[in-house]
A and B are shown apart, each in its own frame.
Chain A
């Protein structure tokens, strides 16, 4: 498929995974990501791939652990409560350094919450979610096209770093339809000499494991992981900027919220305000260095999220609170309008002007 097609975000992830060479999908139904699972159920048999509906999210992530351990490109997807169930398995994947792609199409929480879009799993996604000192690479698309593109990138990053990658979307991105173009190109699968897929010609067994009973060994393993995470921080920060050069206020938003924030920023610019937008694409690693540089040249930040304020903590850390960091958020599946975000933009910028 290389023609432009109108697809739901959830479906675009599925097709992109196939383009990336993923032939194994294990999942469990949960709104609002179920279309991805249904898409895989239809597509995988057509390309001699494996689709399996697991008995639970817990089983699904452990099937992923097994398939990744045997060297396959493998994916699972879920939505917030289901990701909580997968958290232990994700920690095991991180500990055993198994490359895999986990999709979270976020919905409102806590608890059973709602099935409406939310960004309240930012902490869970970027700070670990499961137990132990580990990191997932977390990518946050803001369009159906980017859901496809970042899915392909996710598989490459997972293999390159032997690390779980989480694609973090939300119910709006998963459900909405947009044109998407997927280039059908031959995928290159990296050699996985570490995989436990049977000795074959090897003489030394491959062991997939996260247990180190001796504290010296576990500390050494943790140091190895932390060194890898430092490499990832150095090499894999991704972001997008709009009109930040002379901005007195920079709005920081990711995912679907960045689309609304962009409209609000354009609205404010039409009113003559000097406003820009900074959109983290990789939520971990967080593009802190660039934000720090921007903090030196702007006067304030406005973070907007579909949560009570989670990414704002990373913005405060990145900018070392050199400049005021304001917040506007909605919760529980509520989406702000661009007018709604334009209001605090106006208030903050005009207040700064008054002070000036």
Chain B
């Protein structure tokens, strides 16, 4: 007798991802889909997609999706959640979307303690527009709009979203994870699952920041990109739980 050990989650469609080789959006999509399947909430889940590489998330997730304007996903999710308070509502946003243009929306959604979950993909660069500097770009990191490296004297230091949001009283659970190896993937999945579970229990705003690679715009092979993330990003953006209001 044979048994199925590994299958595509029901929460993913059959559409192939358009993401570049070595990009970690696909891994995070799959983790979210697995978590939603495991919690059995697919039929009451509404995702809010951003502007950025993951703008086409509605092609990949097999549940209702609203595509938001740049940075406004937490405001859109607020509107959805107020209309559908028993649904699971999450935003999926990159660092240009959330940490730059959408900074106000995520801060105030957190301050209100909106019962939504935000998955924040931090790859230290604007992907879709071709590799510009993001608020999360590392010091001295070269991008198309910081061709001589990020200069702290001119454009300041990287913005640490998880640390910042964890100071806000309305936040329930804030963690930073990475998907650079199987062990961290398991931790990332546990954190994302906890965030969705807390929402399902009617608890406050949760954000999971996922450090992610962008081999195309970093100008590296996928393997080198993972090494670069481990060597440069994790020291700047340490992994761990920054806030667990229930566990304090």
A210 within 8 A of B: yes
A17 within 8 A of B: no
User: How far does the Cβ of B218 sit from chain A's closest Cβ, in whole Å?
Assistant: 24
1/0 per residue A193-209: CB within 8 Å of B?
00011111000011111
B75 within 8 A of A: yes
Given contacts A89-B69, A205-B63, contact A199 B44 (CB under 8 A): yes
Q: Evaluate contact between A62 and B105: CB separation under 8 angstroms.
A: yes
B66 within 8 A of A: yes
B58 within 8 A of A: yes
Q: Tell which of B80-88, B187-195, B199-207 binds the partner.
A: B80-88
Q: Evaluate contact between B68 and A65: CB separation under 8 angstroms.
A: yes
Given contacts A50-B82, A198-B43, contact A66 B64 (CB under 8 A): no
A72 within 8 A of B: yes
Q: Evaluate contact between B68 and A62: CB separation under 8 angstroms.
A: yes
Q: Tell which of A31-39, A51-59, A139-147, A233-241 binds the partner.
A: A51-59
Q: Which of B97-143 contact A (CB under 8 A)?
A: 104-105, 107-108
B79 within 8 A of A: yes
B46 within 8 A of A: yes
Q: Evaluate contact between A59 and B72: CB separation under 8 angstroms.
A: yes
A residues near B61, Cβ cutoff 8 Å: 205
A30 within 8 A of B: no
Distance in angstroms between the alpha carbons of A209 and B46 in the assembled complex: 13
Q: Evaluate contact between B79 and A66: CB separation under 8 angstroms.
A: yes
Q: Which of A198-228 contact B (CB under 8 A)?
A: 198-200, 205-211
User: How far does the Cβ of A244 sit from chain B's closest Cβ, in whole Å?
Assistant: 44
Taking a contact as CB atoms closer than 8 A, the residue among B56, B62, B65, B108 that contacts A196 in the complex is B65
Taking a contact as CB atoms closer than 8 A, the residue among A26, A68, A198, A211 that contacts B46 in the complex is A198
User: How far does the Cβ of B184 sit from chain A's closest Cβ, in whole Å?
Assistant: 30
A71 within 8 A of B: yes
Taking a contact as CB atoms closer than 8 A, the residue among B55, B67, B75 that contacts A208 in the complex is B67
Distance in angstroms between the alpha carbons of A89 and B72 in the assembled complex: 9
In the complex, what residue of chain A is closest to B18 when comparing beta carbons?
A213
B185 within 8 A of A: no
1/0 per residue A87-106: CB within 8 Å of B?
01100100010000000000
Residue of B42, B61, B72, B104 ringed by the most chain A CB atoms within 10 A: B72
B residues near A206, Cβ cutoff 8 Å: 64
A70 within 8 A of B: yes
Q: How many residues of A contact B (CB 8 A)?
A: 38
In the complex, what residue of chain A is closest to B105 when comparing beta carbons?
A59
Q: Evaluate contact between A198 and B45: CB separation under 8 angstroms.
A: yes
B residues near A96, Cβ cutoff 8 Å: 67
B48 within 8 A of A: yes
Taking a contact as CB atoms closer than 8 A, the residue among A55, A196, A199 that contacts B43 in the complex is A199
Taking a contact as CB atoms closer than 8 A, the residue among A67, A89, A207, A210 that contacts B82 in the complex is A67
A residues near B64, Cβ cutoff 8 Å: 196-199, 205-207
Q: Evaluate contact between A62 and B76: CB separation under 8 angstroms.
A: yes
B77 within 8 A of A: yes
Q: How many residues of B contact A (CB 8 A)?
A: 34
Distance in angstroms between the alpha carbons of A317 and B55 in the assembled complex: 41
In the complex, what residue of chain A is closest to B67 when comparing beta carbons?
A209
Distance in angstroms between the alpha carbons of A74 and B43 in the assembled complex: 24
A residues near B69, Cβ cutoff 8 Å: 62, 65, 88-89, 92
B93 within 8 A of A: no
In the complex, what residue of chain A is closest to B79 when comparing beta carbons?
A66
Q: Evaluate contact between B44 and A211: CB separation under 8 angstroms.
A: no
User: How far does the Cβ of A262 sit from chain B's closest Cβ, in whole Å?
Assistant: 40
Distance in angstroms between the alpha carbons of A52 and B85 in the assembled complex: 14
A residues near B62, Cβ cutoff 8 Å: 205
Distance in angstroms between the alpha carbons of A55 and B105 in the assembled complex: 7
Given contacts A52-B82, A67-B79, A198-B46, contact A208 B66 (CB under 8 A): yes
Distance in angstroms between the alpha carbons of A88 and B45 in the assembled complex: 26
Distance in angstroms between the alpha carbons of A94 and B104 in the assembled complex: 24
User: How far does the Cβ of A280 sit from chain B's closest Cβ, in whole Å?
Assistant: 31
Q: Evaluate contact between A67 and B42: CB separation under 8 angstroms.
A: no
Q: Which of B19-40 contact A (CB under 8 A)?
A: none
Taking a contact as CB atoms closer than 8 A, the residue among A54, A63, A72, A198 that contacts B44 in the complex is A198
Distance in angstroms between the alpha carbons of A279 and B99 in the assembled complex: 48
Distance in angstroms between the alpha carbons of A65 and B83 in the assembled complex: 11
B212 within 8 A of A: no
Q: Evaluate contact between B75 and A197: CB separation under 8 angstroms.
A: no
In the complex, what residue of chain B is closest to A71 when comparing beta carbons?
B83
Distance in angstroms between the alpha carbons of A246 and B212 in the assembled complex: 74
1/0 per residue A101-127: CB within 8 Å of B?
000000000000000000000000000
A69 within 8 A of B: yes
A64 within 8 A of B: yes
Q: Evaluate contact between A66 and B78: CB separation under 8 angstroms.
A: yes
B residues near A229, Cβ cutoff 8 Å: none
User: How far does the Cβ of B98 sit from chain A's closest Cβ, in whole Å?
Assistant: 14
A residues near B58, Cβ cutoff 8 Å: 205, 207, 209
Q: Which residues of A contact B (CB under 8 A)?
A: 24, 26, 50, 52, 54-56, 58-60, 62-72, 74, 88-89, 92, 96, 196-200, 205-211
Known contacts A198-B84, A209-B66, then 4 further A-B pairs from the complex at CB < 8 Å, ordered by chain A residue: A24-B82, A59-B78, A199-B64, A207-B67
Those 9 A-B pairs whose CB atoms lie nearest each other, nearest first? A66-B79, A67-B79, A62-B75, A66-B76, A63-B79, A196-B64, A62-B72, A55-B108, A70-B83
Q: List 6 A-B contacts (CB under 8 A).
A: A58-B105, A65-B68, A66-B80, A198-B46, A198-B84, A210-B67
